[in-house]
Amino acid sequence: MTHNATSIRVVFLGSPAFAVPSLSALVGSPEIDVPLVVTQPDRPAGRGKTLTAPPLKVAALEHGIPILQPDTLRDPATVETIRETAPDVLIVVSYGEILRRNVLELAPNGCLNVHPSLLPRYRGSVPIQATILNGDREGGVSFIKLVKAMDAGPIVRQIPVPLSGEETSGELFDRLSEVAAEALPEVVANWVHGRIEAREQDHAVASYTRELRKADAQIDWSSSGVDIERHVRAMNPWPRAWSIIDGKRVAIDRVTLISTENVTSATGTLQTVEGWPAVGTADGVVRIEKLTPAGKKQMTGQDWLRGSQELVGEVFDSPESPAEPLIFTR
C-alpha cells in the first residue's frame, strides 16, 4: 500500500492474535502509515518450550514493518526510538504492559486503546471471559484514550455486539477482533482530525477482572447448571474447564442443560441419561457433550462413556474452597 506525505503516522503496540486484524486494517488504509510495530519478546511456548514469536510480530514481518521487542517500555532507548518515528498517535491493542506517562505523551494525539468490552464494564485482563461468565446479552469493543489508570480513559467510540448465549471465549475473541479491526481506521482518522469528542467513563459503576489462572477453570459442581454451562464456554479454549473423577483429570469442553424431569442426581455424581454422561448440579443435571481425558484426544461424551461405564455413580471433585471472584468492583 502506497501512503502519501499527509498519511497519519501510527506506531502500533500489541502482541496476541487479537491485535493482528487491527494491524492489518491500519496497514490497508490509504490514510494511515505504520512505520513501527512494538511487541513483546519471543518467549518459550508449548510442551517443548520452543522460542515462539508473538502473533503480531509474525504479522508485522509479513507486512514488512520494522519491529521493536523490548523487555520493557521503561527502557529510555526504546522510548526514544518510538519518538524518532514521529507518530501522530499510538495504537495499543493487548500489548501486555501498563504504559507510563512518558509513553502516553509521545504522540500529539496520545494513545488509543482497543478494549474488548463495553467499558466501564470489565476493566482488566479477561473481559471476554467475564462477558460470558456473567451471561451478558451483548459484548462489545471500546476505543478509549489511554490514561495512567487501568482502562479508565475517556471513551472515543463503542460498538455493542449482540450475543447468542452459545459463544465460547475463543469464538467471541475472534468476532470482537474483527469488529475492532473494521472500525479502527475510521476511529483513528476521526480522532486525529478532531472529529470525535471523547466522553468520560462513569467510574462509579466500573467493574474489574483479574488475571485468569488454570485453577480458576475447575468446575464447581455445586453451582447451578446455568453457571456451569457458562463457565465451560468462558474457559474455552484456555485454560479449559476441568474436573477430576477417580483421580484422573478430564477437560470438559462443552455441556448442555437437560430436562431434569424424572432425572435426579447428587451434586457432581456421574450418571447415564439416554446414552450420554450427565452430572448432577445444584439445581439439576448437565450433559457432557465433549471432553478430553488426560493424554487423549477430544471425544464425544458418548464415546467416553462407552469406555468408562465403571465410573457411573462416581463423583467428580469440586474445588476444596470457593474460587476468588474473577469479576469484582472496588
Mode of pairing for the β-strands spanning 138-145 and 111-115: antiparallel
Domain boundary among 209, 232, 250: 209
Model pLDDT, residue 262:
61
Q: Are residues 45 and 78 in the same domain?
A: yes
pTM of this structure: 0.94
Q: Are residues 97 and 30 in the same domain?
A: yes
Quick check: is 330 in a domain? no
Q: Are residues 203 and 225 in the same domain?
A: no
Q: Are residues 152 and 285 in the same domain?
A: no
pLDDT in tens, 22-38: 999 999 999 999 999 99
Q: Are residues 235 and 186 in the same domain?
A: no
Q: Are residues 152 and 133 in the same domain?
A: yes
**CA atoms of 301 and 330, how far apart (whole Å):** 41
Q: Are residues 117 and 142 in the same domain?
A: yes
**CA atoms of 57 and 257, how far apart (whole Å):** 41
The DSSP H or E segment spanning 50 is strand 50-52
pLDDT in tens, 176-210: 999 999 999 999 999 999 999 999 999 999 999 99
Q: Are residues 97 and 192 in the same domain?
A: yes
Q: Is the pLDDT of residue 118 over 70?
A: yes
Quick check: is 30 in a domain? yes
Q: Are residues 180 and 39 in the same domain?
A: yes
Q: Residue written as cell 443435571? A: 285
Cβ atoms of 204 and 195 closer than 8 Å: no
- Structural domain boundaries enclosing 13: 8-209
**CA atoms of 237 and 74, how far apart (whole Å):** 32
How many domains, in total, are found in the chain?
A: 2
pLDDT in tens, 210-219: 999 999 999 9
Q: Which residue has the higher pLDDT, 142 or 262?
A: 142
Model pLDDT, residue 182:
98
Instruction: Please state, in angstroms and as integers, the Cα–Cα distance from residue 74 to each residue in 97, 103, 230, following that order.
Output: 10, 9, 39
Model pLDDT, residue 46:
81
Cβ atoms of 265 and 271 closer than 8 Å: yes
Cβ atoms of 113 and 147 closer than 8 Å: no
Q: Are residues 50 and 33 in the same domain?
A: yes
**CA atoms of 296 and 244, how far apart (whole Å):** 15
Where does residue 76 rank: exposed (0-12), middle (13-18), buried (19+ CB within 10 A)? exposed
Q: Are residues 184 and 260 in the same domain?
A: no
CATH of the domain at 306: 3.10.25.10
